[in-house]
């Protein structure tokens, strides 16, 4: 069935701002506090809602990470009953597997690198492998076709496809690095696999779109990831907006009979 309604889950309001503005979405009061939602339509036909976890009521910063992302997705799915969820956001990239700052990744597999449960029956649950929409390759083709024209001359980066691994830390322990290597991860974030798990239990299709703000596997002594992240956050959010608009066009044009 073609989709008529899309829920976009984005962890940080700064990541969501360009697409909220571009689509002229307006605040929706259907999500309980502290979650935030912005709703509207795309080209008059597709219902689009963006949900963000909102600020942590204790610490006042965006509630990044898996708990708030799962809850935002779960409540968002129950409230808006979307045909598909898109988890959009920023990520760190592995340059040894081809990632560069500004690239936009369509996720074909989600995993977890921070769950270590040395009990054999739990090993594959801990890794948490979840597949994305079966239409990912088609969306990659559509994005590649329009990307150079739509992104404008200033934006860097290319469209790529790969494995996203999720953990609740921006910084990495040595063990996290080993696990991410064992997955052959292209990109890492702090929400994707949790959104994928929530989509699985709610029988909702998922598309993952991540824009690279920082390089995870830099050589020692070069810029640390967190300053790179802050430096590249707004450019990455603009790239996400461009990618999301292309994907919404594909969904709106009913070019996929299912996602």
Give min distance, CB of 62 to ligand ADE, in A: 12
Could you tell me which stretch among 98-106, 141-149, 212-220, 244-252 binds ligand ADE (CB under 6 A)? 212-220
Beta carbon of residue 187, minimum distance to ligand ADE (angstroms, whole number): 8
Q: Which of these is catalytic: 103, 127, 214, 228?
A: 214
When asked if residue 52 is in the footprint of ligand ADE (CB under 6 A), the reply is no
Query: For ligand ADE, which residue of 229, 231, 235, 256 counts as binding (CB under 6 A)?
Result: 229
Pairing, β 205-215 against β 84-93: parallel
Closer residue to ligand ADE (CB): 139 or 237:
237
Binding characters for ligand ADE, 147-186, by CB under 6 A (x = yes): -----------------------x----------------
Q: What are phi and psi of 241, to 5 degrees?
A: -60, -45
Tell me whether residue 174 is one of the annotated catalytic residues.
no
Minimal distance, residue 174 CB to ligand ADE, in Å: 15
Does 92 help bind ligand ADE (rule: CB under 6 A)? yes
Show Cβ contacts of residue 237 under 8 Å, excluding neighbours closer than 6 positions. 14, 15, 16, 17, 18, 19, 90, 211
Q: Give whole-number Cα distances, 53 to 5, 11, 64, 220, in Å.
A: 20, 6, 7, 34
Q: Specify whether the CB–CB gap between 142 and 254 falls below 8 A.
A: no
Which CB, 51 or 99, lies closer to ligand ADE?
A: 99
Does position 114 interact with ligand ADE (CB under 6 A)? The reply is: no
* Residues binding ligand ADE: number (CB under 6 A): 12
- 225 is a site residue for ligand ADE (CB under 6 A): yes
If one asks whether residue 40 binds ligand ADE (CB under 6 A), the answer comes out as: no
Residue number with the smallest Cβ distance to ligand ADE:
92
Which residue in 162, 158, 164, 159 sits closest to 141, CA to CA? 159
Asked if 237 interacts with ligand ADE (CB under 6 A), we say: no
Which of residues 66, 70, 90, 161 is near ligand ADE by CB under 6 A? 90
The correct pick among 188, 196, 197, 252 for binding ligand ADE (CB under 6 A) is 188
- 15 belongs to the catalytic site: yes
Known catalytic residues are 15, 214
Q: Which residues bind ligand ADE (CB under 6 A)?
A: 90-92, 170, 188-190, 213-214, 216, 225, 229
């Amino acid at each position: 069935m073609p989709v008529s309604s899309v829920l976009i889950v984005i962890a940080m309001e700064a990541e969501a701002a360009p697409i909220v503005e571009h689509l002229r979405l307006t605040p929706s009061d259907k999500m309980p506090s502290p979650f935030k939602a912005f709703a509207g339509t795309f080209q008059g036909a597709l219902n689009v809602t963006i949900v963000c976890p909102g600020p942590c009521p204790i610490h006042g910063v965006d509630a990044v990470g898996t708990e708030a992302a799962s809850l935002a997705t779960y409540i968002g799915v129950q409230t808006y009953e979307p045909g598909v969820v898109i988890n959009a956001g920023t990520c760190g990239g592995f340059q040894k597997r081809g990632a560069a700052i500004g690239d936009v990744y369509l996720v074909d597999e989600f995993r977890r690198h921070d769950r270590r449960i040395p009990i054999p029956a739990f090993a594959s649950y801990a890794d948490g492998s979840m597949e994305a929409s079966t239409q990912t390759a088609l969306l990659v083709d559509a994005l590649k076709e329009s990307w150079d024209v739509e992104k404008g001359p200033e934006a860097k980066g290319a469209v790529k496809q790969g494995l996203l691994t999720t953990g609740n830390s921006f910084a990495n322990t040595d063990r996290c690095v080993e696990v991410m290597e064992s997955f052959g991860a292209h990109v890492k974030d702090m929400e994707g696999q949790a959104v994928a798990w929530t989509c699985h239990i709610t029988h909702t299709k998922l598309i993952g779109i991540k824009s690279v703000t920082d390089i995870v596997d830099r050589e020692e002594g070069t810029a640390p990831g967190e300053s790179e992240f802050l430096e590249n956050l707004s450019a990455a959010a603009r790239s996400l907006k461009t990618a999301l608009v292309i994907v919404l066009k594909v969904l709106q044009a009913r070019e996929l009979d299912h996602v």
